[in-house]
Chains A and B, each alone.
Chain A
Amino acid sequence: MLLDNIRLSVRNLRHRPKRSWLTILGILIGVAAVIALVSLGQGMQRSITQEFEAFGYNVVMIAGHGGHHLGMGAMLGTYDFQLDLAPLQKISGVEAVGGVLVKTPYISAGRREGYLLTWGMAPELMQAFGNYYKPELGRALNPGETQTAVLGSNVAQDLGLSVGDKFVIETLEFEVVGLLERRADPDVNYAIMVPIATLQELVGERNRFSLVMIRTAQHGHAGHDAASIAKEVRRMVTEQRGKDDLNVHTTGEMLDLMQNLVGILQAALGGIAAISLLVGGVGVMNTMYTAVLERTREIGVMKAVGARRRHILWLFLLESGFMGLIGGVLGALTGLLIAVGIKFSAPLFISGTQLEVGFSPGLMLGVLSFSFVLGALSGFFPARDAAKLPPVEALRYE
Chain B
Amino acid sequence: MIQLKNAHKIYPMGEISVQALRGLDLTIKPGEFVAIMGPSGSGKSTLMHLLGCLDLPSDGLVQLDGQDVTKLDEDTLAQIRGKKIGFVFQTFNLIPTLTAQENVELPLFFQGVPRRERSARSVELLRKVGLNDRIHHKPAQLSGGERQRVAIARALANDPEIILADEPTGNLDSESGEAILKLLEQLNRESKTIILVTHNPEAAAYAHRIVRIKDGRLLEEVFNNTNKGVAYAAR
Contacts and interface: CB of A to CB of B under 8 A. Distances in A.
B180 to A, nearest CB: 18
A167 to B, nearest CB: 75
Interface stretch (B107-115, B182-190, B221-229): B107-115
A305 interface: yes
A103 interface: no
Interface residues of B, number: 29
A305 B87 contact: yes
Interface string A1-39: 100100010011011000000000000000000000000
Interface residues of A, number: 25
Nearest to A306: B82
B82 A305 contact: yes
A4 B115 contact: yes
Nearest to A300: B93
Contacts of B93: 297, 300-301, 304, 395
B120 interface: no
A305 B54 contact: no
Interface stretch (B27-35, B71-79, B127-135, B202-210): B71-79
Contacts of B89: 301, 395
A298 to B, nearest CB: 6
Contact of A306 (B96, B98, B111): B111
A310 B74 CA distance: 11
Contact of B81 (A15, A298, A305): A305
A311 interface: yes
B112 A305 contact: no
B110 A15 contact: no
A231 interface: no
A395 B54 contact: yes
Which of A1, A11, A395 has its CB near the most chain B CB atoms (within 10 A)?
A: A395
Given A298-B95, A304-B54, A392-B55, A311 B81 contact: no
A392 B54 CA distance: 6
A4 B95 CA distance: 15
Contact of B75 (A8, A302, A308, A390): A308
Given A306-B81, A309-B75, A395-B54, A15 B96 contact: yes
A307 interface: yes
Interface in A270-328: 297-298, 300-311
Which of A15, A307, A311 has its CB near the most chain B CB atoms (within 10 A)?
A: A307
B52 A304 contact: yes
A130 B106 CA distance: 73
A308 B110 contact: yes
A391 interface: yes
Contact of B107 (A4, A12, A306): A306
B22 interface: no
B97 interface: yes
A4 B116 CA distance: 12
Interface in B134-183: 154, 157-158
Interface string B87-101: 101000111111000
A4 B89 CA distance: 25
B83 interface: yes
B62 to A, nearest CB: 14
Nearest to B74: A309
B214 interface: no
B49 interface: yes
Contacts of B157: 305
Given A1-B112, A305-B106, A309-B74, A392 B49 contact: yes
Nearest to A307: B110
A391 B98 CA distance: 20
A14 B97 CA distance: 9
Contact of B97 (A12, A303, A306): A12
Given A297-B93, A392-B54, A395-B54, A308 B98 contact: no
**3 closest residue pairs by CB, A with B:** A306-B82, A306-B110, A305-B107
11 contacts: A8-B98, A15-B96, A303-B78, A304-B54, A306-B82, A308-B74, A308-B78, A309-B75, A309-B78, A390-B74, A392-B49
Interface of A: 1, 4, 8, 11-12, 14-15, 297-298, 300-311, 390-392, 395
Given A8-B98, A308-B75, 17 more contacts: A1-B112, A4-B115, A11-B98, A12-B97, A304-B81, A304-B87, A304-B93, A305-B81, A306-B79, A307-B78, A308-B74, A309-B74, A309-B75, A310-B75, A311-B110, A392-B49, A392-B55
